[in-house]
Structure 1
Amino acid sequence: MNDLAVFNNPDFGSVRTLMVGDIPYFVGKDVANILGYVNPQKAICTHVDEEDKMLNVVLLSQFRKYRAYAEGVTSTFKPVIMFKSPKIKVSLEATQMFNELIANLNAADLIAFIIRQQLLDSNESSALELAYNFYLKNEDDLYRLN
């Protein structure tokens, strides 16, 4: 696992960072605070990449399925993922992007994604944070998503 480090700069202060391979990732909340956003969490959500939103939906859907099984609900679950847009063309493009994303998905990429997402928002009580922690502790379940 990669270690979190603090990058200090006299002009803007401290930012937590993580190196994943050769790529530095900065904690989104720290960056949003430096940029002066009043609500850093809202700023992060507003500027999240569409592909990241799609991966979050898939992970959360699967996590809910695992939680239901753990609670003894053994019914068949089918995820319903919708891409709504005022324009049909945009919805079709989102569906195509989602299908390509899923076709090329692998567990290693999901683990890297989860680590990046945890850096963006450290809200430990959110459903996504619970899902991220679940998958990091149960990496074998990520391989079953493929």
Structure 2
Amino acid sequence: MGLSTQFAFERKDYYNQLEKQQRSTPEITDWLEWFLDCLGRAISNAEESLGKVLFKARLWGMINQNPVNERQRLIINQMLEENFEGYMNTSKYAKLAKCSNDTALRDIQDLKLKGIFIQNPGSGRSTSYHLLDEIS
């Protein structure tokens, strides 16, 4: 996220700060403090976004050494999206990939074997998986 995007995100506060500065003395310390804080938030957001992009690049680099099928690729991409909620399980996989539960289970077991999926604690009906979160 760039500085202009951060300003847009904090639009109301930005305009309040501008108006406050225009109505006060030529002293700009408060404005500079607000601006630098906003800049810091923009940099933090940019670092976070970059971290996600780099993680995805490392993950796909690892995956491409031992390729996955199209269903698995679809599911991994969906799990990498910001709006993906919860964990993956067999029925959720089958629904998203439009395949049978048996095929979903085979795909999940393959992803687990390749180290892409990590099984969460629990078993039976509550068995679920998440993507690995660190790549060495």
Per the normalisation by structure 1, the TM-score is 0.26
By percentage of residues, which structure has more strand? 1
Q: Which has the larger radius of gyration?
A: 2
Per the normalisation by structure 2, the TM-score is 0.27
Larger RCO, structures 1/2 (Cα 8 Å, 6+ apart): 1
By percentage of residues, which structure has more helix? 2
